[in-house]
Structure 1
Amino acid sequence: MSDAADAFRDAFQNSKHIVVIAGAGLSAASGIPTFRDGGGMWRSLEATALATPEAFNKNPSLVWQFYHYRRTKALEAKPNAAHDVIAKMSVPTYLRKVAPAAQSFHLVTQNVDRLSVSALNALLARPDSQAELATKHTVFRDSILEMHGRIYDVKCTACGFCEEDRTDPLCPALGAADASFNNYHDAGSKDVHIPENDLPRCAACGALARPGVVWFGEKPYHLDEINSIVYKADMCLVIGTSSTVRPASTYAYRVQRHGGKVAVFNLAPSEKDEQADFVFSGPCETILPSLFPELA
């Protein structure tokens, strides 16, 4: 290992309260598009402009088609090696191999793809993990906080009822609209309009439903709990995010402000790298297993 890697490992080994702040780069190797950093286009439209309440109110047909695409990509995806390393950090008996002083671990993810949850569930389903957990007990309680919601949740615009639904497509009209395009970068050559009554509906009251994710301009989930976690953290790993969206972009600085260490893992350099204690450039699915071979 390099001197920087050794110094990071030493700091991590002595950490007691560890938090990971994850962004889209964590799931890039799993085939989830990074719309903000990877071109940002869908059917020649700015993808981030579709992720707003205003866009949905103006054209729910178009927004639902966009989220149908995102749901399809997420359903096809599998956790990658970086997800797997982070999943093992959620299990005390694994984490203490690399951080023997660890008392808590949390993953605060901006991703809605649920791949971190899938990686942890797959780990806990392994026979060796079941035997270990039966004698050593549990994962860290509520270790994964999905602050921007979950891509498979369908939420009512009227009564607020929300449930997970992995049906693909959610409704026949979305499947038909999807099939009418030759590819997802069709340069916007045609607009497939789906009548509102044919879009996904609430299972409880029948009103128009929306994707159960947090859009730009909406309040993220779990903020009070995340603030408490960040306040006591002495080690923060920033993985796969350029730290441009608040409030997640502030968490690393807040850990440093009370004496904690920050390590950044990102494919491309970020303007905030110089503020970090450790910076590792490259694909996180390669770097994390190399830094933590005990968890690979």
Structure 2
Amino acid sequence: MAPTAGPPLIPPAELQSFSEHLASSKRILALLGAGLSASSGLPTFRGAGGLWRTHDATVLATPESFEQDPGLVWQFYSYRRHMALKAQPNQAHFALAALAEKMPGFMTLSQNVDGLSQRAGHARAQLQLLHGSLFDVKCTSFYCDFVEQNFADPIVPALELPIDESDLTSDEARHAMSNALNAKKQSKELDISDEKVALPELAERDLPHCPKCKEGLLRPGVVWFGEALPRKVLHTIDDFVTSSSKIDLILVIGTSARVYPAAGYVDIARAKGARVAVINTDASDAPAGGMRKGDWFFRGDAARIVPELFKSVIGEIEEPSGRL
């Protein structure tokens, strides 16, 4: 007896109604969150592994922490850069990039800093990074305006990981990291399970410095807690929203969209007539305003669902062979 086919990834009636609306839409917003990158194997911001399990990421991600201990903060972000570079854009990233190419009236607002959308070829004019990027660096000197994109791993030799945890089992990683880091003479100790693991104390001279002014420290180009969202990004989004009286659709992918200002864009789109389509693994992760008649909730892995939703417009997704 042939095996019984499982239920379709997306209920046919819902897929048809969404596809028809997508095909007729002229102006579309997409709001992206960490759930989009989960399919690429990236831990969430608060879920960084290894020796960072005993740190509160929200404490490290502040201007005050960088001023007090830039070496520790840079080690945290060097780890995150390394993990993001080991990950690859998934099918949803490529599908969003393809939709941007097909639809000039499509604007994506990403809360992710991992660079995967850019590496998938998403047109930068249609991709606004609300929280910045791990791969932008900028000078901290008040008198210097240096900013550049930088994918070096590590960005300076002192930030090289003693060992790549992702290539080992958890027990192997814990012992290898412990042995490698404890060889450092100057260190801070952190508890990981029942072991003491050392973090090297880095001198400021060994951290990334500005090549323009030669004096200021470079910092990750992300938005830290207590900092304003990038003004240029907000102006670009405002221009897109206000340039027309109508928005047809807002896609909410891999985020609950319950925290402002991100949640506010759902409200703004609704006020301009948009229908809402949520793609998330958790059925309880609806936007702050809840779901309304005519909205769609597609539960599951964004990497599988998004390409299927867009197929009627973009066709089948083919990943490029050469990827960063």
Runs of 5+ in structure 1 lacking a partner? Answer: 96-102, 122-138
| 1:21-170 aligned within 5 A | 21-36=31-46, 38=47, 42-92=52-102, 95=103, 104-120=105-121, 142-158=125-141, 159-170=144-155
CA deviations over 1:123-175 (Å, ceiling 9, x no partner)? xxxxxxxxxxxxxxxx7x81111222221122111023111222221112111
Instruction: Provide the C-alpha distance between the structure 1 equivalents of 2:62 and 2:197, rounded to a whole number of angstroms.
Output: 23
1:290 is displaced (CA, Å) by 2.2
1:203 aligns with: 211
Query: 2:306 is aligned with what amino acid?
Result: L
Query: Percent identity over the alignment?
Result: 42
Query: 1:87 is aligned with what amino acid?
Result: A
2:168 aligns with: none
Q: TM-score, normalised by structure 2?
A: 0.75
* 1:212 is the counterpart of 2:221: yes
1:196 is displaced (CA, Å) by 1.4
Where 2:121 maps in the other structure, the secondary structure is: helix
Query: 1:275–1:286: structure 2 CA closer, same or farther, 3 Å change rule?
Result: same
1:70 is displaced (CA, Å) by 0.8
Instruction: Provide the C-alpha distance between the structure 2 equivalents of 1:241 and 1:201, rounded to a whole number of angstroms.
Output: 35
1:189 aligns with: 197
Instruction: Provide the C-alpha distance between the structure 2 equivalents of 1:155 and 1:49, rounded to a whole number of angstroms.
Output: 21
1:40 is displaced (CA, Å) by 8.5
Instruction: Provide the C-alpha distance between the structure 2 equivalents of 1:82 and 1:177, rounded to a whole number of angstroms.
Output: 33
Runs of 5+ in structure 2 lacking a partner? Answer: 1-10, 165-175, 182-189, 318-324
Asked whether the 8 Å contact 1:114–1:151 carries over to 2, the reply is yes
Where 2:269 maps in the other structure, the secondary structure is: helix
Query: 2:106 is aligned with what amino acid?
Result: F
Query: 1:176–1:77: structure 2 CA closer, same or farther, 3 Å change rule?
Result: closer
Instruction: Provide the C-alpha distance between the structure 2 equivalents of 1:55 and 1:228, rounded to a whole number of angstroms.
Output: 34
Higher Rg: 2
1:174 aligns with: 159
1:186 is displaced (CA, Å) by 6.3
Query: 2:78 is aligned with what amino acid?
Result: H
Instruction: Provide the C-alpha distance between the structure 2 equivalents of 1:254 and 1:212, rounded to a whole number of angstroms.
Output: 27
2:279 aligns with: 265
Q: How many residues align?
A: 268
Instruction: Provide the C-alpha distance between the structure 2 equivalents of 1:74 and 1:256, rounded to a whole number of angstroms.
Output: 33
Q: 244, 261, 276: which is aligned to 1:247?
A: 261
Q: 13, 25, 29: which is aligned to 2:23?
A: 13
Query: 1:107–1:151: structure 2 CA closer, same or farther, 3 Å change rule?
Result: same
**Superposition RMSD in Å:** 2.7
Moved more, 109-118 or 286-295: 286-295
Query: 1:90–1:198: structure 2 CA closer, same or farther, 3 Å change rule?
Result: same
1:27 is displaced (CA, Å) by 1.2
Query: 2:305 is aligned with what amino acid?
Result: I
Where 2:120 maps in the other structure, the secondary structure is: helix
Query: 1:186–1:118: structure 2 CA closer, same or farther, 3 Å change rule?
Result: farther
